[in-house]
Amino acid sequence: MEQSPIIVVGHKNPDTDSICSAIAYAALKNQLQPDSCVPKRAGAINNETAFVLKYFQVDTPELVEDVNTQVMDIEYRKTPGIKDSISIKDAWNMMRELDVVTLPIVGAHHMLEGIITINDIATSYMDVYDNDILAKAKTPYSNLVAVLEGTLVSGNPHNHIVNGKVSVGAANPHLIEHLLEPDDIMIVGDRVDIQICGIEMGIGCLILCLDAPVNPLVLQLAKERECSVITTKLDAYTASRLINQSIPVKYFMRKQNLITFQLDETVESIKEIMSKKRHRDFPIVDDMGRYYGMVSRRNLLALRKKKVILVDHNEKSQAVDGIEDAEICEIIDHHRLGSLQTISPVYFRNQPVGCTATIIYQMYQENNQPVRREIAGLLCAAILSDTLLFRSPTCTPLDESTARQLAKLAEIDLASFAMDMFEAGSSLRNKTPAELFNQDYKTFQVDQLGIGVSQISSINQHELDHVAAQMQKYVTENLATMPVQLVYVMLTNIHKQTSLLLAFGTNAIQYAASAFRVVPEDNVCTLPGVVSRKKQVVPALVSTLQQEL
């Protein structure tokens, strides 16, 4: 099974750094090893990021909602599908050849129509059926010829047996006359009188055993009466025993209440179903019902987890859903150490800089790889965004020097591009309170206490004042349903380098007042010079909570 590309993805509610770093790092990995990685996003992009991607004509990464191991990640058995017209003998031979106990039956466009198992075939041998079973099953003459290893001397192999029963012409003609009915199938030896008797009685098929020669008169009469003639080297007993093996699998297949799995189902969900059923194999289909293969419990032992590279975060709460079920290959980040755990050692690069993009540009240089104009533009935009054009306290000299180098490669003017980008990103109109709150929202854990911090930035103070009223109402109404106990909303004025901190939850405002040594007004703390959630707000809150809890 071909290995899927490694997913490079940032955090939920992605910002410009998260998206641009994922794209740029995937591009670097692909320059070193073609088609090895693919960039993804774990949430909707904001207006600022959309502006950047459009400016540099880069496609928005595809959304990945979870990285749980799915059925498509399993090395399932690609058992070929069979038509419902093949004989149960052919199905049995195919099972032995493929060493399987279940065969899928598919129709037009590879749509799954049913399955047949080795138990179904065993039942077909052991159960006693009426001697008209071939007609009930509408058996093709081609199946009959193949099972008897015979030759169709007269008749159409594409016709089906639709009437009549199977008889053995082992008596004299007087007795046979009372046994035969129109359209019957008669197995005989070399007695011409019995053969002619059967044809004159209106049988539909004459089977001559032991390679008995076909009398010209018999053949002529058979053609006139539209009676098929088959010769076989088998004796009458063997032919009688094997003839039911020509029945098409359609007659015995299971087509109701089939248990199937879809390609995008998670392994965890199918494990539970498998544990409750005694079936050995289960068909895999897509959402249209097209057949892809068979999966068994044995296949789950060798499943391949999705491989993921995380950028711009290392907190489990911020990671894409299902991260605990994936194989984390690398982490590239510039935040504090978080709660993620890995089964085996991984490449973890964490530097105290203002932006993940700064680290990724270093990695381009370390690997002597060229940086395309659009990639340089994305990396530069990420640094400008995270450092607020070098005004954030998280900004380091390395961030600034890197951004200036990238601006030259991207052929942009830093100041004017940054202002255009901030203006595009600060437009908060036409967004619902939920969209505003979640566009840049991260959660953290202090002991058993969950903390959520949302940051909303703008260059328009009037716009921020309007948003403040919306956030007061939205968070108050939804706090009880959030999986955290304390919620803070940062309303950051980029030009004034000031933030208003709204607090929600038991003692939330007291913790904020203590952390920043300010006197709150109407449940709001005014924080001059505070613009960074990562370096100024979260560390202060965490330190205070660790002391007071």
pLDDT recorded at residue 129: 66
Q: Which residues pair with 376 in a beta bridge?
A: none
DSSP H or E run through 237: helix 236-242
Enumerate domains of the chain plus CATH numbers: 6-69+306-425 (3.90.1640.10), 73-125+251-302 (3.10.580.10), 138-246 (3.40.1390.20), 433-548 (3.10.310.20)
Q: What is the 3-state secondary structure (H, E, C) of 292-353?
A: EEEEEHHHHHHCCCCEEEEECCCCHHHCCECHHHCEEEEEEECCCCCCCCCCCCCEEEECCC
Could you give the angle at the alpha carbon of 411 between the alpha carbons of 410 and 416, nearest 5°?
105
Per-residue confidence (pLDDT) for residue 268, from 0 to 100: 83
Beta bridge partners of 106: 112
pLDDT value at residue 522: 85
Each residue's pLDDT expressed in tens, for the chain with a length of 549 residues: 567 899 999 999 899 999 999 999 999 999 999 999 999 999 999 989 999 999 999 999 999 999 988 888 888 889 999 999 999 999 999 999 999 999 999 999 999 999 999 988 888 777 656 788 899 999 999 999 999 999 999 999 999 999 999 999 887 877 877 888 899 999 999 999 999 999 999 999 999 999 999 999 999 999 999 999 999 999 999 999 899 999 999 999 998 888 999 988 888 888 888 887 777 889 999 989 999 999 988 877 667 788 999 999 998 889 999 898 899 999 999 988 887 888 888 999 999 999 999 999 999 999 999 999 999 999 999 999 999 899 888 899 999 999 999 999 999 999 999 989 988 887 676 789 999 999 889 998 888 899 999 999 888 888 899 999 999 999 999 999 999 999 999 999 988 889 999 999 999 999 999 999 999 998 899 999 999 998 899 999 999 998 887
Per-residue model confidence (pLDDT) at position 148: 96
The HSE-up count of residue 504 (CA atoms within 13 Å, CB side) is: 25
Q: List Cα–Cα distances, 36 to 3, 6, 39, in angstroms.
A: 9, 6, 11
Exposure class string for 111-146: b at 16+ Cβ within 10 A, else e = ebbbbbbbebbeebeeeeeebbbbbebebbbbbbbb
Please write down the HEC assignment for all residues of 461-479. HHHHHHHHHHHHHHHHHHH
